[in-house]
Amino acid sequence: GEDVEQSLFLSVREGDSSVINCTYTDSSSTYLYWYKQEPGAGLQLLTYIFSNMDMKQDQRLTVLLNKKDKHLSLRIADTQTGDSAIYFCAEYRGSTLGRLYFGRGTQLTVWP
Amino acid sequence: NAGVTQTPKFQVLKTGQSMTLQCAQDMNHEYMSWYRQDPGMGLRLIHYSVGAGITDQGEVPNGYNVSRSTTEDFPLRLLSAAPSQTSVYFCASSYLGRGDKDTQYFGPGTRLTVL
């Protein structure tokens, strides 16, 4: 199908790890992105991964890519209350120049 | 670098009124786009542009017009506002076709209510 799929909600305790999952649609997508949206704000790029990589680590963030299953995940280590936000997965398919396809977003709530 | 700027931040319209949402970027990006964000719907693409003078429709273009006379500006016009257009509108921009430079940068959004 056309949709990038994400679960809508995730709750974790402060200090635990969070894992946000995404299933994308196009096996030829070259870049996959994670964006963060805090309340009342625009979308901020967190990280991205190129399709020839399996994993990318950036401080507390780890992105895992399973191309066979078209599955992308974002792990946040030592989750803090400031990580509470909506997280969007997006794919660049390349079929339309410049266009990204977004999932519906996962609302992450971190409890103290 | 101001990045992507949008005005106004908030707007209330009556049904049938028209208005223009402004978007500007100072990063010399070729690609600019408009999204609307509704609860539970994520981001839906309204219109996009791959350069000055070139625009195209996204998923939900009805009721909206765009033009791109300069690289920097990409205004979105609501022709005759309807309550179904109550939403948060985001403008975004990026370079084109350069792999990691396809990162889209978003403006802070315009919150529109149509009564």
pLDDT in tens, B28-44: 999 999 999 998 778 89
**Strand B10-13, strand B110-114: pairing:** parallel
**How far apart are the C-alpha atoms of A54 and B113, rounded to whole Å?**
43
Looking at residue B102, its pLDDT comes to: 65
Quote the pLDDT of residue B11.
96
What confidence category does residue B56 fall into, taking pLDDT thresholds of 50, 70 and 90?
Answer: very high
What's chain A's average pLDDT? 91
Q: What is the DSSP letter of B37?
A: E
| Mean pLDDT on B47-72 | 95
Highest mean pLDDT among A93-97, B20-24, B91-95: B20-24
pLDDT exceeds cutoff 90 at B86:
yes
pLDDT tens profile A17-30: 999 999 998 877 78
**How far apart, in whole angstroms, are the C-alpha atoms of residue B11 and residue B51?**
28
Q: Is B1 helix (H, G, I), strand (E, B) or coil?
A: coil
Between CA A47 and CA B102 the distance in angstroms is 12
Q: Work out the percent of chain A whose per-residue pLDDT is above 90.
A: 70
Q: What is the pLDDT of residue A1?
A: 41
Given a cut of 60, whether residue B101 has pLDDT beyond it is: no
Residues in chain A: 112
Dist CA A34 CA B56 (whole Å)? 25
Interface test with chain B among A97, A106, A107, by most B beta carbons within 10 Å:
A97
Indicate the pLDDT class of residue A51, thresholds 50, 70 and 90: confident
Q: Return the sign of the alpha-carbon dihedral for residues B20, B8, A85, B105.
A: positive
Q: Select from A69, A37, A67, A43 the least CA-distant residue to A55.
A: A67
A43 touches chain B (CB under 8 A): yes
Mean pLDDT of chain B: 92
Q: Is there a contact between A49 and A67 (Cβ–Cβ < 8 Å)?
A: no
Q: Do A104 and B99 touch (CB under 8 A)?
A: no
In this prediction, residues A86-105 reach a mean pLDDT of 86
Q: Does B55 touch chain A (CB under 8 A)?
A: no
Supply the pLDDT for residue B97. Answer: 56
Q: Helices H, strands E: what count in chain A?
A: 0, 11
Is pLDDT of B100 > 70? no
| Chain B residue numbers touching A91 (CB-CB < 8 A) | none
Task: Give the Cα separation of A100 and A23 in Å (integer).
Answer: 15
